């Protein structure tokens, strides 16, 4: 388990810190409990030229090998209301808070906007890196700003949602700024009047079955839908969807539909259509298939699981086989959602 803050741990096992539960050792690991500790540490250690990884909840990465660099693990805690007006409340959550604890707190206080994102594993800081999304909502819709420390200059910066350029499971933290910042807090602008988003298939019916629509019932419906399909990472190693849902144009869609008339697709505006990668993988016959201790989940083919004792490279190898099958059958190159750490 994580040792004392700012203590440099060498040859440190990351098994308990990644939800695939694969064995990997960090050459160096250091955890932080405050912004000051991070700034102080960066002042005393020059990280230029060192491989580094900022770890959140470890729920969206796959270690393929030992990590021969430094793992920086901010575990900053705290949630505060920083302002409110008649319609909104601004809530600042530190990066190391558990995402779903924040959702539970928001729902119990009647703060709306993240209830559809219930039960997503991971930390508040990572929610912004990844622009987490589920059941018709994405966190970008409620992020006001992100606070971070620039690793090189040690300066604290505030990045507006616009600067972060959030996209589908992506942001500048994954692209232009990769490896440059340590996120310390995220400020969310939540609603004091709910604006329910219930269009995702199955959501409205599940909520209405409980009675009149409330934030708490939406949360409970989402939790139950997730639990019925997705494996609990505490029980079975996984990192949620392994691949992103591919987006294709109308011509490509028309070609696919001639051979696969039941192909699900979701118009994204313009000539863009999102496909369900889980459906494509399922159609290739992968659902529930096991290769050694790695497997494709039996209820959701987009999720790869560690049945116990799989190495990171076993899961990577399985993902490559899945990728190849989907390409051979449908001509579609799946992009990974999970960050593979070589």
In the complex, the residues that contact ligand EPU under the rule CB under 6 A are 134-135, 200, 229, 240-241, 244-245, 264, 276, 278-279, 282, 287, 300-302, 337
Tokens of 13: 């096992």
Comparing every residue's Cβ against ligand EPU, the nearest one is 240
Name 129's Cβ contacts closer than 8 Å, sequence gap at least 6: 56, 171, 173, 174, 183
List Cα–Cα distances, 335 to 142, 160, 266, in angstroms.
26, 27, 18
Minimum distance of ligand EPU from residue 268's CB (angstroms): 12
Active site residue 169: yes
- Closest CB 210 distance from ligand EPU, rounded Å: 19
The least CB distance from residue 316 to ligand EPU, in Å, is 17
- What is the rounded distance in angstroms from the CA atom of residue 274 to the CA atom of residue 247? 4
Q: Residue 70's beta-bridge partner residues?
A: 28, 52
Choice among 145, 169, 219, 283 that is catalytic: 169
Q: Which ranges of 199-299 would DSSP assign to H, the alpha helix?
A: 203-208, 215-229, 250-259, 277-283
- Rounded CA-CA distance 57/268 in Å is 30
Helix (H, G, I), strand (E, B) or coil at 198: coil
Identify the residue whose tokens are 């990884």. 53
CA distance 32 to 59: 19
- In the complex, least distance from residue 167 CB atom to ligand EPU, rounded to whole angstroms: 12
Any idea which residues carry the catalytic annotation? 169, 241, 337
């Amino acid at each position: 388990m994580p040792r004392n803050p700012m203590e440099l741990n060498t040859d440190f096992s990351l098994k308990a810190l990644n939800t695939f539960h694969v064995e990997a050792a960090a050459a160096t690991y250091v955890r932080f409990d405050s912004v000051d500790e991070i700034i102080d540490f960066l002042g005393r250690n020059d990280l230029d030229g060192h491989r580094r990884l900022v770890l959140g909840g470890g729920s969206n990465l796959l270690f393929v090998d030992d990590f021969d660099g430094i793992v920086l693990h901010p575990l900053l805690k705290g949630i505060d209301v920083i302002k409110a007006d008649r319609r909104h409340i601004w809530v600042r959550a530190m990066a190391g808070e558990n995402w779903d604890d924040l959702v539970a707190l928001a729902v119990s206080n009647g703060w709306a906007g993240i209830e559809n994102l219930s039960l997503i594993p991971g930390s508040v800081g990572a929610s912004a890196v990844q622009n987490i999304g589920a059941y018709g909502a994405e966190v970008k819709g409620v992020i006001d700003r992100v606070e971070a420390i620039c690793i090189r200059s040690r300066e604290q910066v505030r990045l507006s949602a616009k600067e972060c350029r959030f996209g589908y499971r992506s942001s500048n933290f994954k692209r232009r700024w990769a490896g440059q910042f340590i996120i310390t807090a995220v400020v969310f602008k939540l609603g004091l009047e709910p604006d329910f988003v219930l269009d995702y298939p199955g959501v409205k019916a599940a909520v209405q079955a409980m009675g009149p629509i409330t934030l708490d019932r939406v949360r409970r419906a989402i939790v139950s839908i997730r639990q019925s399909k997705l494996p609990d990472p505490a029980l079975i190693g996984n990192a949620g969807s392994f691949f992103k849902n591919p987006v294709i144009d109308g011509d490509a869609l028309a070609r696919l539909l001639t051979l696969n008339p039941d192909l699900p697709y979701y118009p994204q505006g313009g000539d863009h259509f999102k496909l369900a990668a889980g459906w494509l993988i399922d159609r290739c016959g992968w659902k529930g298939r096991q290769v050694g201790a790695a497997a494709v989940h039996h209820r959701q083919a987009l999720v790869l699981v560690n049945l116990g004792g799989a190495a990171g490279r076993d899961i990577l190898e399985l993902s490559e086989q899945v990728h190849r099958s989907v390409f051979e059958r449908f001509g579609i190159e799946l992009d990974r959602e999970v960050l593979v750490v070589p």
